[in-house]
Amino acid sequence: MKTPLSFGLSIAAVVVAGLVLTGANDASGTGDEAENPYISKAIIEETGPPPEGGEAADVYLQLLKESAYAAAFALSDTGAFGWADNHADIDLAEALALRRCTEHASDCRIVLRITPETPVQVDGFSLSYTTARALGEYTYKPVPKAVALSNRGDWGMAWGQMSKGAAEKVALANCEKHLPKKDPAGWPDGVCKNIWAE
């Protein structure tokens, strides 16, 4: 008897261990990104001086190391900071980074942006880094299986289910449970949609 499996990630809770500082994403160290058509090289744009120490510098360096696009880092002259990574859209990442920073200071500005060199869309959804990785892994999962994406980078997957319909239902539920409960002002509502099922 097959054991049904399902998985989903929240963009707010994703940490991808990366090894490359150049922005050429290969977080696993295995080179599998070269075989994944959804992965794009990360472009790193430093738009201001980086933080000079403490937790802010540690977070900044971790963002550079992971290169999990789309990502942004906001910094204030007082040392306040905020960041967001692994979003489907740089505008959303910047808005969240600024919102987190401005909770502590009023002079926050974006000093780091990480975007995909070639943005990839699937069924109208832009892909965050971990979403791109997940779609590459989807190919190897046992059927019945399905994957759902949100317009903001959340995703859910299910495989080894009893039917295609069951896989679609579980994938959609996994995506929806990771949508933020309360969105910052001006953000679009998160919407999940099944994009593939077999």
User: How is the chain split into domains, by residue range?
Assistant: 5-9+133-197
pTM of the model: 0.75
User: Would the pLDDT of 124 be above 70?
Assistant: yes
pLDDT 10s digits, 129-171? 988 888 889 889 999 999 999 887 888 999 999 999 999 999 9
| Long-range own/partner contacts, residues 186-192 (CB < 8 A, 24 or more apart) | 186/95, 187/92, 187/95, 187/152, 188/151, 188/152, 190/150, 190/151, 190/152, 190/154, 191/150, 191/151, 192/148, 192/149, 192/150, 192/154, 192/156
Question: What percentage of the chain reaches a pLDDT higher than 90?
Answer: 54
User: Would the pLDDT of 13 be above 80?
Assistant: no
User: Would the pLDDT of 109 be above 90?
Assistant: yes
